[in-house]
Structure 1
Amino acid sequence: MDVYTKSFEQFAESQAKGSSELYYFLSKQVIEDAELMEIIKEIPLSQPKPNLFFASMHFLVARSESELRAYYPSLTVNPLPFSDSFEHFKEFALNHKNQLIELFRSRLVQTNEVRRAAYLYPIFSGIAEQTSKSLTLIEIGTSAGLLLCPDAYNYEYIEEKTSFKIENAMASIYLKSENKGERLPNTIHSNFKINTRIGIDLNIVDLNKQDEYDWMLALIWPEHSKRRQQFIEASKIANGIQKDLYEGDLLELLPKVIQSISPENQIILFHTHVANQFPNKLKKDFELLLKDLSIARSFYHVYNNMYDADLHQDYLENGKVIKEKIFQSPDGHGRWFYWS
């Protein structure tokens, strides 16, 4: 089994199963189809292959009048049975081969899962309470910067079959998530201030550009209507909030960014579901850089998918890494998490 076939098999069983009937079914069919696999082999090795392939198809189908639209819950009110979709799916892919390859070469898998803010929010509020400082958030792999605005959303947390709400804004969305771990601390009810919001990415997404906005929608799986609605609402909110977004190499940009932050602010550097795409050398260089930067300025590092799927809260000071907390792996779309 080559790397492409293996990636679709893993995607089907570990991601799509129980979450997207259409993508689960199509993944299984694609694996057995030599013509489609030839097209898929044009996807760069650095990108998650099933995600980029299905997003590219979703993007093109949404802009077409193809009968394939009738099988996408995101594009029609009453979708036809997914089990009848493959013949139309394959035909569309073969007819749009060149457009697909162009998307493979020009687009990235960089979702902006706003519901991840539900598990970041209690971490950030706890740090703000502990340090008695306003926060500066620096996000690596920021995409469109939606996670830089956690204080602009409302939250509904489910704990032990009960729920409670955190309300930050009158006209905000509610991000609903289940805490399957220990009860959340009282600090989550404390207001905290974010003075500066900084995002770094190789490719900053400008949601004011229709083409980029449509691509972000295409990355959301067809059945995930709640994710889609949350993205649409969060985009409206985040677009009205001042953020400094920098495009380029994080190893070059990060030292300048950190040096520019007032010592009155507590820096939290964070990234979610990003570091898994780092080559091993970049991971090592990134870790060494963080240690070097902490000699002059201490900061928190909140992250997952560096070497495991768990969520980590580290504190870096004087070149040393203090591992303060480890939270069991949260759901990739923020539907649940484990507080500890």
Structure 2
Amino acid sequence: MRTAETYARFATAEARGVSPAYERLALAVSRDPELLALLDTLPPAKRQPNLLFGVVRLLGGPVDDPAAFHDWTVANWPAVEEQIRVRATQTNEIGRCAVLLPVLAELPQPLALLEVGASAGLNLYPDRYAYRYGDHRLGTGEPVLDCELTGTAPPTRLPEVVWRAGLDLNPLDVTDPADVAWLDALIWPEHTHRRERLRAAAPVAAAEPPLLVRGDLVDDLPTLAAKAPAGATLVVFHSSVLYQVPRPRREAFVELVRDLPGHWIAAETPEVLPHAQLPEPPDDGMRNVLALDGRPLAWTAGHGQSLTWFA
């Protein structure tokens, strides 16, 4: 897909109705020959909108006005390019715990959680947060995660987690202000509630840090999985991660994770992780498919704000 098409699709499929600022910005970039030419000097995986916009925010550039964004980004391109080349979109969106919870709560307890693409590991604490599915509230912790749930009953219990581990090529540390600043920069401009969630969740992880390992999702997963305690159900999970993995490595990971003991939960777009005979999504926005052990269960919104069960 050409860079212009990537930005146009991001505007219409991901940002529309979710972030007016990023919708305007992505459409403007898709029609901006100068910016497109600069982006095309980068490796394909580094041209994605979330990465560019996050780096500009991190460096203090404007993202609310496309003309100002163009001028600032072109003028500061060496600094922007340097950061893009060393960073990745490690959103670590805590809201995704709300769509994982209905599955986690039904697995044999207690759980040993292993997140692939863990970033700072904030999604390894689904038992510590609180949830609100319409009028149904579960848990007493912070932050409170809201999710519009359709097609199934809300979970009635929190999981029991006895082990937390994460695997990432570049794990982040929630006790490091610079790493937290990058997580903040990746949150879309209007999403004040997501920033509040990040500020509430970071102390939870900092108080009892998970085991975060720098490594590859194929080469290093078996060794880390083998460290899970006996008597706990191993759950390997990931959300909006595999699009950053080249297809051959993605296929190798799927073959590997299917053979591990325990269970595998995935929340990825069907273009990245295909499934046969999916029903139509609830709307034309970009949706992940929530799947357990390769079996598709539900459509989910990217930040965990909704779940449409179809299994």
**TM-score with structure 2 setting the length:** 0.89
Deviation at 1:112, TM superposition (A): 0.7
Q: Which moved more, 1:31-40 or 1:134-143?
A: 31-40
CA separation of 1:219/1:42 partners in 2, compared to 1, >3 Å: closer, same or farther? farther
- Paired residue secondary structure (1:179): strand
- The CA distance in 1 between the partners of 2:248 and 2:170, in whole Å, is 20
* Aligned with 2:195 (options 228, 238, 263): 228
Please report how far the alpha carbon of residue 48 of structure 1 lies from its aligned counterpart in structure 2 after TM superposition: 5.5
Cα offset, 1:110, TM superposition = 1.4
- What SS does structure 1 have at the residue aligned with 2:152? coil
Once structures 1 and 2 are overlaid, which stretch shifts more, 142-151 or 11-20?
A: 11-20
CA RMSD between the two structures: 1.8
Distance 2:47 2:124 in 1: 24
Task: Flag structure 1 segments of 5+ consecutive residues without an equivalent.
Answer: 63-67, 73-81, 315-322
Cα distance in 1 for residues equivalent to 2:106 and 2:20: 38
Give the equivalent residue in structure 2 for 1:299.
262
Give the percent of matched residue pairs that are identical in Structure 1 and Structure 2.
29
Runs of 4+ in 1 over 3 A off after TM superposition: none
Partner residue in 1 for 2:291: 312
In the alignment, is the contact (CA less than 8 A) between 1:177 and 1:336 conserved in 2? yes
2:136 aligned with 1:164: yes
Q: Which runs of 5+ in 2 are unaligned?
A: 275-287
| Largest Rg, 1 or 2 | 1
After TM superposition, the structure 1 = structure 2 runs for residues 1-340 of structure 1, keeping only pairs within 5 Å, are 3-47=2-46, 49-61=48-60, 68=62, 85-127=65-107, 131=108, 133-158=109-134, 163-169=135-141, 172-184=142-154, 188-292=155-259, 294=260, 298-305=261-268, 306-308=272-274, 309-314=288-293, 323=294, 325-339=295-309, 340=311
* C-alpha contact 1:329 1:337 (8 A) present in aligned 2: yes
Give the number of equivalent residue pairs.
294
Distance apart, 1:269 and its partner CA: 0.7
Structure 1 residues 63-116: Cα deviation after superposition (integer angstroms, max 9, x where no partner): xxxxx4xxx6xxxxxxxxx5xx23322221122111011011111111111011
Q: How many angstroms does 1:191 deviate by? A: 4.6
- C-alpha deviation, 1:210, in angstroms: 2.0
Q: 1:26 to 1:190 in 2, by over 3 A?
A: closer
Distance 1:43 1:61 in 2: 21
What whole-Å deviation, never above 9, does each CA across 1:174-197 have from its counterpart, x for those lacking one? 11111022223xxx3235421100
